[in-house]
Chain A
Amino acid sequence: MATQKVTVTLTVNGTTHTAEVEPRLLLVHFLREHLNLTGTHIGCDTTHCGACTVLMNGRAVKSCTVLTVQADGATIKTIEGMAENGQMHPLQEGFHVEHGLQCGYCTPGMIMRAAELLARNPDPTEEEIRWGISGNLCRCTGYVNIVKAIQYAARKLREREQAAAGS
């Protein structure tokens, strides 16, 4: 079978990329190997661990189980796109301040999933956070500080929102 190539256009962290890809190319490989965005990790490769989580049109997805062709036309955000103007995102800050990581392998995926969670639910309960990150495995922390990190970011983001509304 002659290998088909498909032209895809994806906007990744604000930059639009057009590429010719094999249909079987997984989104995680496109990000890591074609765009050199290696912040997105591959843990299990079987849709379980969530290390490969990125935002696709605002929704958290496991990029090891999405074809690049399925993401044609989509807007993608990875961990590299979280900081703005040299300022860490409140989630990144939260993981730093609250020691939400040890080895850090799960962290990019955790942060991307948490970003979606907070976008949909700015003031989640602890249970909602734990339920919300149930598709992300961490083998180091025991999750306690990850929950705290997300709570920290939720607080910060709400304060920022209030300040913006008040000014």
Chain B
Amino acid sequence: MIPPPFTYAAPTSLEEALALLQQHGPMAKILAGGHSLLPMMKLRLLEPEVLIDLRRVPGLDEIREENGYLHLGAMVREVELEEHPLIREKYPLLYETTRWIADPQVRNMGTIGGNLAHGDPGNDHPATMMAYDAQLVAVGPRGERVIPAREFFLDFYTTALEPDEILTAIRIPIPPPRSGGAYEKLERKVGDYATAAVAVQLSLAEDGTLSYVGIGLTNVAHVPLFAARSCAHLQGQRPTPERIDEAAQMASEDCNPRSDLRGSAEYKRAMVRELTRRAFRRALERAQGG
């Protein structure tokens, strides 16, 4: 399969990339790793007239902690997250999420920015970024703005990014001591999109109550979901098995999966309940220093 014809540009600065986006309007698309975009173009699900490749734009591939945030450039490849000692040691939720994405070759090309900007409810990073309460940094002709991950995913393949904006970075609040996270993904075979998946990030106060809880759900609605009711139910509370079960039950009630080849809606709801429990327990063990 050969993609439809398009014009290609590989600008060498962010300003140039933004100018090209403005010039060509909505018929232009940003090209990051191409591992969502090119498969869709081959199938003629998308036929952009212009592709603007970010690979030569400097400064979009940094991983560093700064001003209370983990800063990830939008062009950071999955493999770079996977291999970075800081991510492995301090961001187990992000590390696990990355490891579950596709396969090694896809992770060598796919970028974190592309994974989020694509707005695919089957992608794994969105739920994780919601669990972390991450911020997405977008730059456009009107300057820079910061969009909370929890407000970024508007509809099926539709995000809060304007067509003339570029996602430049993701900022994850550096977790305080006594924090932990985990990603639980159920898939039909290795490398598949999730049948259902749950991201949990939490922090414990000195007295053992939960000072922070973030839970995100993958591929169980037309958008990635933030499990707001479950989080509110746990926030400030002691993580007793009963409370965890109740919060997991709420997550399974608040999602909205469709029956498809990956399973019935009922099955997926049951899996959300179980995966929430499992992810929560593992996150808690990590926070307790286990």
* A8 vs chain B, min Cβ distance (A): 10
8 other contacts beyond A23-B8, A66-B34, with CB at 8 A cut-off? A1-B49, A23-B6, A24-B2, A29-B2, A60-B104, A61-B108, A66-B109, A70-B53
Q: Is the CB of A59 within 8 A of B5?
A: no
Determine whether the beta carbon of B105 is less than 8 Å from that of A50: yes
A45-70 CB mask vs B (1 if < 8 Å, else 0) is 11110100100000111100111011
B38 at the interface (CB under 8 A from A): yes
Q: Report B22-60 CB contacts with A as 1/0, cut-off 8 Å.
A: 000000000100110011001000000101010100000
Query: Which chain A positions have C-beta within 8 A of B7?
Result: 1, 4, 23
A131: B residues at CB distance < 8 A: 190
Contacts of B53 in A (CB 8 A): 69-70
B102 proximal to A (CB < 8 A): yes
* A113 interfacial contact with B, CB 8 Å: yes
B3, B39, B106, B109: the one within 8 Å of A24 (CB): B3
Contact yes or no, A62 B55, CB < 8 A: no
Closest residue of chain A to B1 (Cβ to Cβ) is A45
Instruction: Tell me the complex Cα distance, A140–B187, Å.
Output: 23
* A45 pairs with B42, CB closer than 8 A: yes
A24-B5, A135-B103 given; A61·B10 CB < 8 A: no
B34 touches A67 (CB 8 A): yes
**B6 and A134 within 8 A (CB):** no
A65–B39 contact, CB under 8 A?
yes
A4 to B2, CA, bound (A): 16
Cβ of B141 < 8 Å from any Cβ of A?
Answer: no
* B79 beta carbon closer than 8 Å to chain A: yes
Partner of B51, one of A1, A23, A135: A23
Partner of B103, one of A22, A29, A134: A134
Assuming the contacts A23-B6, A24-B6, A135-B103, asked whether A65 and B1 have C-beta atoms less than 8 A apart, the reply is no
Q: Which of B5, B8, B191 contacts A69 (CB 8 A)?
A: B8
23 pairs from A and B in contact (CB 8 Å cutoff): A3-B5, A4-B8, A23-B5, A23-B6, A23-B7, A24-B4, A24-B5, A26-B2, A45-B1, A47-B39, A48-B191, A59-B79, A59-B108, A61-B109, A65-B109, A69-B10, A69-B53, A70-B55, A134-B103, A134-B191, A135-B104, A135-B191, A136-B103
Asked if A47 meets B6 with Cβ closer than 8 Å, knowing A61-B105, A66-B109, A135-B102, the reply is: no
Contact B6 A113 (CB under 8 A): no
Residue pair B3, A60 in contact (C-beta under 8 Å): no
Q: Contacts A59-B79, A65-B34, A134-B191 known; A113 to B2 CB distance under 8 Å?
A: no
Chain A residues near B (Cβ < 8 Å): 1, 3-4, 6, 22-24, 26, 29, 45-48, 50, 53, 59-62, 65-67, 69-70, 72, 113, 116-117, 131-132, 134-136
Chain A residues positioned under 8 Å from B51 (CB to CB) = 23
Query: B106 contacts which of A23, A72, A135 (Cβ < 8 Å)?
Result: A135
Docked pose: A117 CA to B8 CA in angstroms: 32
- List, in ascending order, chain A residues with CB within 8 A of B55's CB: 70
- Asked if A70 and B34 sit within 8 Å, CB to CB, the answer is yes
- Beta-carbon contacts under 8 Å, B150-200 to A: 190-191
Residue of A nearest to B37 (CB): A65
Q: A45-B1, A69-B53, A70-B34 are in contact. Are A113 and B8 (CB under 8 A)?
A: no
Output the least CB separation between B47 and chain A (Å).
11
For the complex, give the distance between the alpha carbons of A3 and B2 in Å.
Answer: 15
A44 and B34 alpha carbons, distance in the complex (Å): 17
Residues of A near B109 (CB, < 8 A) are 61-62, 65-66
Q: A23-B51, A61-B109, A70-B53 are in contact. Are A1 and B5 (CB under 8 A)?
A: yes
Whether B104 and A113, one on each chain, are in contact in the complex, defined by CB atoms closer than 8 angstroms, is yes
How many Å lie between the Cα of A6 and that of B53 in the bound state? 13
Closest B residue, CB atoms, query A63:
B105
Structural contact, B105 and A135, CB atoms closer than 8 A? yes
Residue among A45, A50, A70, A136 having the largest count of chain B Cβ atoms under 10 Å: A70
